[in-house]
Amino acid sequence: MNRNVPLFRRLSASDQHELLGHIQVFLAEKRFEGCGGLELTDEMCVTIAAQACLLLLHRETDYFPRLLTILVYPSTYMAEEKRHVEGPVWEEGRMPRLGETGRRLGAMVLAWDAVKSGAADPSDGKNVVLHEFAHQLDYENSADDGTPALATREQQLSWHEVMRTEFASLRAADETGIPTLLDTYGATNPAEFFAVATEAFFERPRMLRANHPRLYAELQSYFQQDPVEYSADRIKTN
Ligand SMILES: [Zn+2]
């Protein structure tokens, strides 16, 4: 665990304990399958489970109820994709994929090389497991609209307001080519925005809190945790 998920060491003792409990349930409930010749090991399953279950800490939650099977491929694979370029322009073709999941699939595909490198550097802002499992959280309330199940009407209102503004500004930054902390893939649609923001929240919390305080606060209230407390990221000044 410490070797493949260095973040684990930085968690408090009680969080580590809670996470280990979630991992047990997760491993018992989900089916893992090695694909494309991958020899699946316990270490791989635990590395995936640990990062997925980080999203569940401190919350009254189910274990990604729509997900039954996790298919693990050895490395980043090519898939047909339609990607928004700008305005009405879409580009179609074979693009490298690190992972994917869908609301009706009941399955998730992950590339082991991407899982491993995502976990190895817990503060580069990129983490395919956090990204794909954020999509699964989004599906819990049936729509894949970038809004997970929120407890109160008040929380929903504030969430929609903040996400709409932040999504619009990422879209604008994407169109003008201004460099952003959030991966501009999040400008694709609100569902991708939530997944990308989740990656930043756990991997670049200090930067996110400094640059997008309202977005940080919404995610903090939803996830019931403050990754600044255990993150290794640093504020970069330039
Ligand atoms: Zn996505």
Rounded-to-integer distance, Cα 42 and Cα 114, Å: 17
3-state secondary structure of 124: coil
Q: What is the pLDDT of residue 238?
A: 46
Q: Ligand 1 centre from 179 Cα, in Å?
A: 20
Residue-wise pLDDT tens digits, 148-189: 999 899 999 999 999 999 999 999 999 998 889 999 999 999
Integer distance in angstroms from the first to the last C-alpha of the chain?
A: 35
CA–centroid distance, residue 13 to ligand 1 (Å):
31
Please choose, from the candidates 226, 29, 60, the residue with its C-alpha nearest in 3D space to the C-alpha of residue 150: 60
Report the separation in Å between the CA atom of 207 and the middle of ligand 1, taken as the mean of its atom positions. 21
Whole-model pTM: value is 0.91
pLDDT of amino acid 188: 93
Spans of the chain, pLDDT less than 70? 83-90, 236-238
Ligand 1 mean position, distance from CA 100 (Å): 7
Q: What is the structure's pLDDT at 104?
A: 76
Q: How far apart are CA 159 and CA 147, in angstroms?
A: 8
Question: What are 215's two structure tokens?
Answer: 């977005």
C-alpha 111 to ligand 1 mean position (Å): 14
Distance from Cα 42 to the centre of ligand 1, integer Å: 26
**Ligand 1 centroid distance, CA of 105 (Å):** 14
Q: Please state, in angstroms and as integers, the Cα–Cα distance from residue 168 to each residue in 111, 163, 183, 188, 193, following that order.
A: 30, 8, 14, 11, 10
